[in-house]
Amino acid sequence: MKNKTQQKSLRRERRQGRIRARVSGTATRPRLSVFRSNTKIYAQLIDDEVGLTIASAHSMGSKETRLVSAENTGNALAKAAKEKNVHEAVFDRAGYLFTGRVKAVAEGARKGGLKF
């Protein structure tokens, strides 16, 4: 019998697998993948055809609240994407619900000029 934390993690991994079966990134429209820990948030633009990370951003060293730092992470990722001439992406929420910090990353990326 698995404990509650393990069950929760397993359910998220199953959701993530279903999402990844449908969502794939290309060079012109990479996948914006989000990982959320308890304190930090990480975002990457990934070209799945080549298996290459185009750009990444994280909230390490941020002194703001978790929600504000998540939005800043999305904005920083959008700026890094512009430098690499990427203007569109496919959003991959990685099994997390599209609320809170995951949504803040998406909004920050949109404010930075990334379309998805």
Give the Cα separation of 76 and 21 in Å (integer). 27
Domains and CATH numbers, the chain: 4-112 (3.30.420.100)
Angle at 70 between CA 77 and CA 52, to 5 degrees: 35
Going by pLDDT thresholds of 50, 70 and 90, the confidence category of residue 1 is low
pLDDT over 90 at 2, yes or no? no
**CA-based nearest residue to 56, from 40, 14, 9:** 40
The reported pTM is 0.90
Of 21, 97, 47, 37, the C-alpha closest to 70 is 37
pLDDT tens readout for residues 5-48: 999 999 999 999 999 999 998 888 999 999 999 999 999 999 99
